[in-house]
Amino acid sequence: MKTYRLAILIGIISLTLYSCSKKTDKDRAIALVESKYENSSLDLNFDGAELDSLYNISPQAYADSIKKGDELDVSLAELESQIEHLSQAESDSVGLISAKLTKERYRLLDLKKIKPEFIGWKLSGVAIVGDRQVLSFNFDKGITKIVP
Q: What are 123's strand-pairing partners? A: 51, 137
Question: pLDDT by residue (tens digit) across 90-108?
Answer: 777 777 888 888 888 888 8
Kindly list the distances between the CA atom of residue 59 and the CA atoms of 15, 62, 66, 92, 129, in Å, as whole numbers in the listed order.
36, 5, 11, 38, 34
Mean predicted confidence (pLDDT) in 77-83 = 80
With a CB cutoff of 8 Å and minimum separation 6, the contacts of 82 are 94
Please give the residue that has the higher pLDDT: either 16 or 85. 85
- Taking residues 60-69, report their average pLDDT: 87
Which of 98, 126, 103 shows the shortest CA–CA distance to 40?
Answer: 126
Half-sphere exposure of 37 (CA within 13 A, CB side): 17
| pLDDT score of 19 more than 60 | no
pLDDT in tens, 32-45: 998 888 888 888 88
Helix segments in 22-144, DSSP class H:
25-36, 59-83, 88-114
Write down the pTM of the prediction.
0.55
